């Protein structure tokens, strides 16, 4: 540099000319004499040293180069930090922080450390905290639980206390910044997003039998009758009247017709028998499918209203007929218990009915929902249901009058979010549980909330030990799940592109414990992962067995009387599991928007009730802490087991060098799905050519075999580069050298990902300046509308400070030898990590290959061609839904061919991507 600068010094005007009239420097100006050269070299080097050591760091300290400048304490979400773009600057910071690393638990040590944290008494205390009062979505009690969970995240994750509450209206700059800046955060963070869906609450309700003379002969008592033995149920007996969420406001009068479970097959049987349902009131029992689809089927056949009751035949052997006493004095059903619940048409689309496919902001444009009923309905207890059944069986012809008036309005709900940044910030593991309940909700959802509470405590303990996950972890406490997966769906629709770009997997926990049998639902990519992690944990009540052995457990309350039809229905549901024993995902919890809409590999698990377990009072006032501690899980051993499993799965998904997805199992599961569909098509006499689809599946199987070998080789290559033991065992002692190498890995990962930033969401793009009032209130002034629209569509938003792109960032010059150089990752480590990142990209996007932009026929919100909730089941998952329903429901050979071709193309594209 000094030589070049010397040659560019101004020269005297004296020149000589050649014959061609071109100027030629005089000989004495062509080369500096040796003394001058040495002098220039000395002073140039001194100036260069002064610039790099003193002047350059001083320049970089100014806010224009990205160092945070003082600003209003509430001008951005709490603890959202600027991350330097320049790879060299990131490298310098990472190396500097690696010089003094405390010993931290890693690998198996981190897993074992977390497994020591969940304990019974803490889980009981958490359950009592959240189930001590009603917390219906949108209520004051619901807001209190949101603030309680936010306090938990701030306390355990060591989030610095903000100057103002981090509660942001959805759609505001602050709300969007909180999520979109996750990739750039180095510190933990927690906040609340407020969405504004349309919900309803009950007003006037009644049910009467009216004689031919117009006189009322019977009036039902629609409310549950509490017993003093359950103090919480007694205290809140009238807090949330028995009603259906999102039910139609209206009145109906007609003759009563019984329709069994209200399945599509039940209504088809009535039609075949010549029964005319027009203008009738339909009586059905709970079970078999989602309650909203019972109303939908009746409405499509012209019914005027629907009544749904709880039937003792669905309680298995735990009935008074088998000499079991009713709750609260025994394990059988309280005959006055009523199951509240949403009657949204869940299989059409979930979430806010008035904002399908886009988020429910306070000022969102709203439409008339097409996934809610247009006829009224009411839930009934066994006492009322039995009375009406006796009247029907007695041959009486009578008229029923149903009144259901509800208050339907835009209602605020609160999603609580917490972030634990990882070394790899563009790969995120989301862990979620919904928090709202119909009344007390000690089981649904507070058993899951208590388990997540223990996991958060475990994360906090690890963080205090200096641990940081390899991938970022996002904790979510969803709201308004009970109305139709509202909180998670609105957030998913709000951050669709961010989820697609960053989320690797979603772990869901809903009701953690309501019986004795462990059950899991998941994408086939995670079937083996669930079984393997469950096998590593002890059985909650039998130390000689593993948690996975609990998949065969059943209750101890047996008896002679057990309804055969109800048992057959329960057995049929269990047959849907794959050969590992994991059920497909439907739409029965908050994983729906992740897997069905975005193609994010997901799982959910917990203990479910069998026909010989104490009767769980679903969505009743008797879903209380007393029932949970006395009958559901005495001692909370199962709560702790679920918490440990959830924590182990979270740590392993976030810390595994290669994402533990089994694509080969998925490919072979597809073949088994196709076998069943071919059998169904043959039984329905549908002629279809499935050979091209089967060939595509076979191609995917072969490509997956190759990927399996690549995964193994890449992981071994990276472990060797990081210094892992050759015997594939994890470390049993703290290893500061490995920690240092992981920091270098973190540094180099920033280098790799920065090269691809232009092709991903423009996270390093320009950012609007946010005024303090706008950030706090969520009010976006007109001059910022364009920026907000841009960030909404592209996912571009980072901390509201001056930010420059990679190319604009000034690079620190390197010192020449013999000055010390910043430590660089070894070339082997660089190559190994690049290879692992490439393979992980294939694994993370495998499930997304089934997402089709046109969605499923007649329910376009659902986009996953591999699995979806059954059109007439709602809760349960239907594999290959478009093809399956073309065979079983439409019975249309042309439609079968169309769906088979869509699947073939999707599967071939997945195979091509994993071969690349």
Summarised one tens digit per residue, pLDDT across range 402-419 is 999 999 999 999 999 999
pLDDT of amino acid 175: 97
Number of Cβ within a 10 Å radius of residue 74: 18
- pLDDT value of residue 536: 97
- What does the alpha-carbon distance between residue 343 and residue 327 come to, in Å, rounded to a whole number? 27
Mean pLDDT of all residues in 447-465: 97
pLDDT reported for residue 840 = 97
Q: What is the pLDDT of residue 54?
A: 54
Which of the residue ranges 252-266, 567-581, 729-743, 772-786 has the most confident prediction, judged by mean pLDDT? 252-266
| pLDDT in the model for residue 605 | 98
pLDDT more than 90, % of the chain = 71
75: pLDDT strictly greater than 60: no
For residue 743, pLDDT beyond 70? no
Burial 396-407 (b: 16+ CB within 10 A, else e): eebbbbbbbbbe
Amino acid 107: pLDDT: 80
Name the more confident of 331 and 80. 331
- Helices 827-844 and 691-722 pack at an angle, to 10 degrees, of 150
pLDDT above 60: residue 744 = no
pLDDT band at 757 (very low <50, low <70, confident <90, very high): very low
Q: What is the mean pLDDT of residues 371-377?
A: 98
Judge whether 623 and 439 are in contact, CB under 8 Å. Answer: yes
Catalytic: 481?
yes
Q: pLDDT value at position 781?
A: 33
Q: What is the pLDDT of residue 104?
A: 67
Confidence of residue 55 (pLDDT cuts 50, 70, 90): low
- Which ranges in 575-662 belong to alpha helices (H)? 592, 598, 625-627, 637-655
pLDDT per residue over 91-103, tens digit each? 333 333 433 345 6
DSSP state string for 19-71? TT--EEE-GGGSS--HHHHHHHHHHHHHHHHHIIIIIHHHHHTSGGGTPPPP-
Please report the pLDDT score of residue 3 as a whole number.
43
Residue 218 φ/ψ, nearest 5 degrees = -160, 140
631-663 pLDDT, tens digit each:
999 999 999 999 999 999 999 999 999 999 999
* Confidence class for position 690, pLDDT limits 50, 70, 90: very high
Q: What is the pLDDT of residue 49?
A: 62
The band of 397, judged by pLDDT with boundaries at 50, 70 and 90, is: confident
Higher pLDDT, 457 or 565: 457
pLDDT tens digits along 476-527:
999 999 999 999 999 999 999 999 999 999 999 999 999 999 999 999 999 9
pLDDT band with cut points at 50, 70 and 90 for residue 17: very low
Q: What pLDDT does 573 receive?
A: 83
| Unique residue bearing structure tokens 């593993």 | 546
Annotated catalytic residue: which of 156, 224, 391, 481?
481
* Res 395: pLDDT: 80
Does the pLDDT value for residue 732 go beyond 60? no
Quickly count: other Cβ atoms within 10 Å of residue 121's Cβ.
Answer: 10
What digits encode the pLDDT tens for the residues 102-131?
A: 566 778 889 999 999 999 999 999 999 999
β-strands 601-608, 517-522: how paired? Answer: antiparallel
pLDDT of residue 819: 43
Question: Mean pLDDT throughout 188-206?
Answer: 98
Q: What's the confidence (pLDDT) of residue 187?
A: 94
User: Sign of torsion, CA 825 826 830 835?
Assistant: negative
**pLDDT of residue 784 exceeding 70:** no
For the segment 326-335, the average pLDDT, to the nearest whole number, is 98
**Confidence at residue 50, expressed as pLDDT on a 0 to 100 scale:** 60
pLDDT tens track for 811-869: 334 444 444 444 555 678 888 889 999 999 999 999 999 999 999 999 999 999 999 99
* pLDDT surpassing 50 at residue 561: yes
Residue 28 pLDDT > 70: no
- Residue 876 is predicted with a pLDDT of 86
What pLDDT score does 672 carry?
97
Q: What is the pLDDT of residue 15?
A: 41
Q: Span 706-717, mean pLDDT?
A: 94
Task: State pLDDT tens for residues 220-248.
Answer: 999 999 999 999 999 999 999 999 999 99
Instruction: Count how many residues are written for the chain.
Output: 916
Chain Cα centroid distance, residue 891? 34
- pLDDT for position 701: 97
Residue 34 confidence (pLDDT) = 61
What dihedral angle (degrees, nearest 10) is formed by the CA atoms of 674, 680, 683, 685?
A: -80
Question: What is the reported pLDDT for 517?
Answer: 97
Q: What is the mean pLDDT of the chain?
A: 84
Least confident of 201-205, 572-576, 876-880: 572-576
State the pLDDT at residue 513: 98
Q: 471-478 and 413-420 as β-strands: parallel, antiparallel, unpaired?
A: antiparallel
Q: Is pLDDT of 72 > 70? A: no
């Amino acid at each position: 540099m000094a030589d070049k600068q010397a040659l560019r010094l101004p020269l005297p005007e004296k020149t000589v000319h050649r014959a061609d009239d071109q100027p030629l420097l005089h000989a004495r100006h062509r080369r500096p004499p040796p003394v001058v050269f040495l002098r220039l070299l000395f002073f140039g080097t001194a100036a260069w040293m002064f610039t790099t050591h003193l002047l350059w760091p001083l320049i970089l300290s100014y806010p224009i180069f990205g160092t945070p400048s003082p600003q209003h304490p509430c001008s951005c979400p709490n603890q959202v930090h600027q991350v330097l773009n320049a790879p060299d600057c990131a490298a310098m910071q990472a190396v500097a922080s690696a010089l003094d690393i405390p010993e931290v638990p890693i690998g198996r040590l981190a897993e074992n450390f977390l497994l020591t944290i969940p304990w019974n008494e803490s889980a009981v205390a958490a359950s009592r905290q959240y189930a001590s009062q009603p917390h219906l979505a949108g209520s004051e009690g619901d807001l209190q639980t949101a603030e309680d969970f936010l306090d938990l995240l701030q306390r355990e994750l060591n989030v610095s206390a903000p100057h103002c509450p981090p509660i942001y209206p959805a759609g505001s700059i602050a709300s969007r910044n909180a999520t979109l800046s996750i990739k750039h955060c180095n510190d933990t963070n927690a906040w609340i997003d407020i969405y504004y869906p349309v919900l309803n609450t009950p007003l006037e309700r009644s049910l009467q039998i009216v004689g031919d003379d117009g006189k009322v002969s019977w009036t039902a008592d629609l409310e549950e009758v509490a017993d003093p033995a359950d103090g919480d149920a007694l205290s809140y007996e009238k807090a949330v009247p028995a009603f259906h969420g999102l039910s139609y406001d209206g009145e109906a009068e007609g003759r009563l017709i019984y329709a069994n479970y209200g399945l599509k097959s039940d209504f088809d049987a009535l039609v075949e028998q010549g029964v005319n349902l027009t203008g009738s009131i339909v009586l059905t029992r709970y079970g078999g499918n989602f309650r909203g689809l019972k109303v939908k089927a009746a409405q499509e056949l012209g019914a005027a209203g629907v009544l749904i009751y709880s039937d003792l035949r669905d309680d298995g052997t735990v009935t008074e007929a088998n000499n079991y006493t009713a709750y609260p004095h025994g394990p059988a059903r309280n005959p006055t218990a009523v199951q509240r619940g949403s009657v949204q048409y869940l299989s059409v689309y979930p979430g806010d009915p008035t904002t399908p496919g886009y988020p429910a902001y306070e000022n969102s444009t709203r439409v008339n929902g097409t996934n809610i009923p247009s006829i009224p309905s009411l839930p009934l207890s066994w006492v009322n249901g039995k009375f009406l059944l006796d009247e029907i069986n007695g041959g009486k012809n009578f008229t029923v009058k149903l009144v259901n008036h509800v208050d339907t309005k835009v209602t605020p709900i609160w999603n609580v979010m917490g972030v634990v940044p990882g070394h790899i910030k563009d790969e995120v593991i989301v862990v979620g549980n919904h928090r709202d309940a119909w009344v007390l909700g000690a089981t649904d959802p507070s058993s899951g909330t208590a388990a997540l509470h223990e996991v958060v405590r475990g994360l906090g303990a690890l963080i205090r030990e200096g641990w940081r996950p390899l991938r970022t972890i996002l904790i979510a406490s969803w709201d308004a799940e009970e109305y139709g997966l509202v909180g998670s769906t609105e957030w998913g629709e709000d951050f669709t592109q961010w989820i697609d770009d960053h989320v690797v997997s979603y772990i869901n926990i809903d009701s953690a414990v309501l019986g004795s049998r462990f059950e899991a639902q998941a994408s086939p990519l995670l079937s083996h992962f669930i079984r393997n992690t469950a096998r590593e944990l002890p059985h909650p009540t039998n130390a000689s067995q593993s948690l996975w052995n609990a998949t065969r457990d059943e209750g101890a309350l047996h008896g002679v009387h057990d309804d055969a039809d109800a048992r057959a229905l329960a057995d049929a549901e269990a047959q849907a599991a794959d050969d590992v024993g994991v059920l497909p995902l439907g739409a029965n919890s908050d994983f729906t928007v992740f897997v069905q809409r975005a193609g994010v590999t997901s799982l959910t698990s917990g203990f479910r009730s069998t026909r010989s377990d104490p009767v769980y009072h679903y969505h009743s006032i008797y879903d209380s802490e007393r029932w949970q501690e006395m009958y559901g899980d005495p001692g909370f051993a199962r709560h702790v087991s679920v918490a440990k499993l959830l924590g182990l799965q979270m740590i392993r998904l976030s810390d595994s060098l290669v994402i533990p997805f089994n694509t080969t199992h998925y490919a072979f599961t597809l073949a088994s799905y196709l076998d069943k569909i071919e059998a169904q098509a043959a039984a329905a006499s549908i002629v279809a050519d499935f050979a091209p689809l089967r060939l595509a599946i076979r191609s995917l199987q072969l490509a997956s075999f190759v990927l399996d070998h690549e995964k193994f080789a890449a992981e071994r290559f990276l472990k060797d580069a990081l210094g892992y033991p050759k015997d594939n065992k994890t470390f049993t002692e703290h290893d500061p050298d490995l920690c240092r190498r992981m920091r270098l890995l973190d540094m180099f990962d920033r280098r790799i990902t920065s090269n691809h930033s232009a092709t991903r969401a423009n996270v390093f793009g320009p950012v609007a300046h946010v005024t303090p009032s706008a950030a706090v209130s969520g009010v976006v002034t007109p001059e910022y509308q364009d920026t907000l629209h841009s960030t909404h569509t592209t996912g571009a938003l980072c901390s509201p400070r001056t930010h420059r792109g990679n190319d604009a960032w000034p690079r620190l010059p390197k010192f020449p030898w013999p000055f010390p150089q910043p430590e660089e990752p070894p070339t082997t480590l660089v190559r190994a990590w690049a290879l692992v990142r490439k393979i992980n990209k294939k694994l993370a996007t495998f499930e997304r290959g089934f997402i089709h932009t046109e969605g499923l026929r007649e329910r376009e919100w659902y986009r996953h061609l591999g699995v979806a909730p059954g059109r007439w089941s709602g809760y349960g998952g239907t594999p290959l839904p478009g093809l399956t329903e073309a065979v079983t429901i439409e019975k249309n050979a042309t439609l079968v061919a169309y769906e088979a071709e869509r699947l073939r193309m999707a599967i071939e594209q997945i195979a091509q991507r994993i071969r690349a």
